Amino acid sequence: MNAPTTKTPRKRAAKKVETPTGEARIPNRSQGWYRDKETGEKLRSVTTLLGQGCPKPGLMFWAANITAQDAMDNLPYLIGASLHPDQREAAYDWLRKGHVRKKEERGDLGTAVHDIVEALVLDSPLPESVLADPDMAPYLENFLQFVKDWEVTFEASEMVVANYTHGYAGRLDYMFYSPPIAGLLKVPPVTLFMGDTKTGGELDEKGVYPEAGLQMAGYRRAEMCWMRDGSKVPMPMTHSTGIVLHLRPEGVRVMPLNCGDDMFEAFLDVYKVAEFERVLSKTVVGAPLVLPTATSEGEAA
């Protein structure tokens, strides 16, 4: 009898993992994290940290005002829907999501502004999507006027930066030079500033809030940043005063914000609170205690 034949198991070729190249090396934000695509290290998102660790009592009143305004502007619809069970739930759902719709509108506007800055940084034509939108016209006009009046030269836009020591990353709006701003702050005209654009509120009301200084402080103390070609370089030094452009259809305000070392220390405190919310808060409240029954006491004895 011939010996049974056995097949020599084939070795599976190891799956080749290609190192990303070019722009593919720049991390993207996903579920509150950035991941370094070369090292695999995960870094907490700055905006997520601020959302979880920084109290924003004004948001509650803002959302309530949006809901009240939507209700007053749509009373006939809401009254009619309240009389029909099949429409009542849909009307309720629409009303409670008013603040979400408003945030999405502002998000679209913010994206358009970033597209404008990016075009200016790259010295490329303005996006057709911006030029063709009549609602964007006053924002575009005011923004370009700001650039002209304040002699703004952009150094970078939409740049991902990271601090590996503290484990966070984020995407800053832009960095720029402005001799007039430098003159007002009594610093050399070649001083590099951190910049951000806010479009909320009204020009005669609040539209720029203190947490913007915390956000800038986190970005300012980043250790590394990614260039457009995907290369990683040290974060350049920016001034301890950042600039927020409060951009509205009726005009602009150029707002200086402290983003120095004291703000960075406060940012790290916010980081700790956010980590409490993410991790430790899940372990604080235990299960309810129940008095032992007589039977269980006897068994224990």
- 249 pLDDT higher than 80: yes
- 62 pLDDT higher than 70: no
197's tokens: 């654009």
Mean pLDDT, the chain, as a whole number?
85
Mean pLDDT of the 121-143 span: 82
How many residues comprise the chain? 301
pLDDT at 3: 42
Options 3.90.320, 3.10.450, 2.60.40, 2.40.128; CATH of 29-51+110-276? 3.90.320
> Dihedrals φ, ψ of 81, to 5°?
-65, -30
Q: Per mean pLDDT, which range of 179-183, 237-241, 242-246, 248-252 is the poorest?
A: 248-252
- 164 pLDDT higher than 60: yes
Q: Per mean pLDDT, which range of 124-128, 226-230, 289-293 is the poorest?
A: 124-128
pLDDT at 242: 97
Every domain of the chain and the residues it spans:
29-51+110-276
How would residue 213 be classed by pLDDT, with cut points 50, 70 and 90? very high
pLDDT at 4: 42
- 231 pLDDT higher than 90: yes
- 205 pLDDT higher than 50: yes
- 2 pLDDT higher than 50: no
Q: Which tens digits make up the pLDDT trace of 4-14?
A: 444 444 555 54
Contacts by residues 149-156 (CB-CB < 8 Å, ≥ 24 positions apart): 149/180, 150/178, 150/180, 150/181, 150/254, 151/178, 151/179, 151/180, 152/176, 152/177, 152/178, 153/177, 153/178, 154/117, 154/120, 154/121, 155/121, 155/192, 155/236, 156/121, 156/225
Query: CA-CA distance, 243 to 139, in Å (whole number)?
Result: 18
pLDDT at 295: 66
pTM, entire model: 0.79
How would residue 190 be classed by pLDDT, with cut points 50, 70 and 90? very high
Mean pLDDT of the 207-220 span: 93
How would residue 292 be classed by pLDDT, with cut points 50, 70 and 90? very high
pLDDT at 7: 46
Percent of the chain with pLDDT over 70: 85
Mean pLDDT of the 143-151 span: 94
Mean pLDDT of the 14-38 span: 83
